[in-house]
Chains A and B, each alone.
Chain A
Amino acid sequence: MTDHGDLDQSLLNPTRLSIVSVLAANHWAEFSYVREAVKLSDSALSKQVSALDKLGYVQAEKGYVGKRPRTWLNLTDAGRKALSGHITALQHIAAHAGNPGPSNRPSSEE
């Protein structure tokens, strides 16, 4: 039986999908890096991160490096699973039109 994946309604938001996709490739990323990557303001990214945190997809950890505050983001196992299922579902949808889209391999950085 072919697994068509589960379309995650919260990941239909392109901003959240971008954030989760950036985090999927790394064990951790600083808030500033994700902000630059998806080109959002601090407050906009904070809102999205909070929403993803409530869903259990993203973990945000605050700390200090020396005297400089830092916020680190990482994708949780639930987030990776949701992204993987969402990608599979998108591939299935795109393939139905004869347009398979790019090949998206599951992240090897688990």
Chain B
Amino acid sequence: MYFLCRQQHESQASTETHETLAPLKDNREGVFTMQSHPTPEEAAKALNEVNERREQAAAPDAHPAWTLWALGAVAIGYGVVSDLRPDLSTPLLFVLVAAALALAALPRWKRSGSAMGYQRSPSSHPVGMSGRARMMRTGVMLVLMALAAAAGLIMRSFDVPYPTTIGITVVVLTIPLWRGLLNRAARDPKA
């Protein structure tokens, strides 16, 4: 029924309609007809579709994988420099922050974003994320940062060599874990 509806509309819109349109979701049940005024059920289904599409498009996974690992490599490099040459850590930090801000801005434009491997512009405020979800996500990030800082203090107090390098390396290697935590915190079922 859904395929027929879409194919009928496609044939009305064009002379070439031979594609079989795949369902948008496998578990979809029924469709709303191409009436000028949808029924309440059809309207609710359409709203569900809109919500799903917008959440899908605004999911925080717009960043290509290489950007995270590049960020990790730079962070580890910074850790090494901080431990070996503490006098360079502050100026290096300024340079890295400036570079990170520039790289964060570039994907906003189509050509530079595509050149960096983005298929869509990343969203800093994902649609559909409630205020509560954003607060939870921010809270998770703050907790992670606090844990990293506490670990650094503990290592320094025990004279562990290269504490910054070790701390940053641990954070980088656990990127998949805390990225999952952040994404889960962003998906508030009550949103």
Contacts and interface: CB of A to CB of B under 8 A. Distances in A.
Interface of A: 7, 9, 12-15, 17-18, 21-30, 32-33, 37-41, 43-44, 47-48, 51, 61, 63, 65-66, 70, 72, 74, 83, 87, 90-91, 93-97, 99, 101-105, 107-109
Contacts of A90: 38, 43-44, 46-47, 50
Contact of B49 (A14, A40, A83, A99): A14
A20 to B, nearest CB: 9
A93 B123 contact: no
Contact of B40 (A7, A17, A43, A96): A96
Interface in B17-35: 17, 19, 21-24, 31-32, 34-35
B47 A21 contact: no
Q: Which 6 A-B pairs have the closest CB atoms?
A: A97-B40, A21-B53, A25-B58, A25-B57, A33-B119, A29-B120
A30 B114 contact: yes
Contact of B57 (A9, A22, A39, A93): A22
Nearest to B25: A39
22 contacts: A9-B36, A12-B32, A12-B34, A13-B9, A14-B24, A18-B53, A26-B123, A29-B119, A30-B114, A37-B56, A38-B53, A39-B23, A44-B19, A90-B46, A90-B50, A94-B40, A97-B40, A99-B41, A102-B48, A104-B51, A108-B127, A109-B123
Interface in B94-133: 108, 110-111, 113-115, 119-121, 123, 125-128
B127 A25 contact: yes
Given A12-B38, A28-B113, 12 more contacts: A9-B36, A25-B53, A26-B57, A27-B121, A32-B119, A37-B53, A39-B22, A97-B40, A104-B54, A108-B127, A109-B58, A109-B127
Contact of A93 (B31, B34, B43, B115): B43
Nearest to B120: A29
A36 B110 CA distance: 18
A94 B5 CA distance: 21
A95 B47 CA distance: 11
Contacts of A93: 37-40, 43
Interface of B: 5-6, 9-10, 13-14, 16-17, 19, 21-24, 31-32, 34-41, 43-44, 46-51, 53-58, 62, 108, 110-111, 113-115, 119-121, 123, 125-128, 191
Nearest to A64: B111
Contact of A30 (B39, B48, B120, B123): B120
Contacts of A105: 127-128
A108 B110 CA distance: 19
Contact of B120 (A13, A28, A44, A97): A28
Contacts of A72: 110, 114
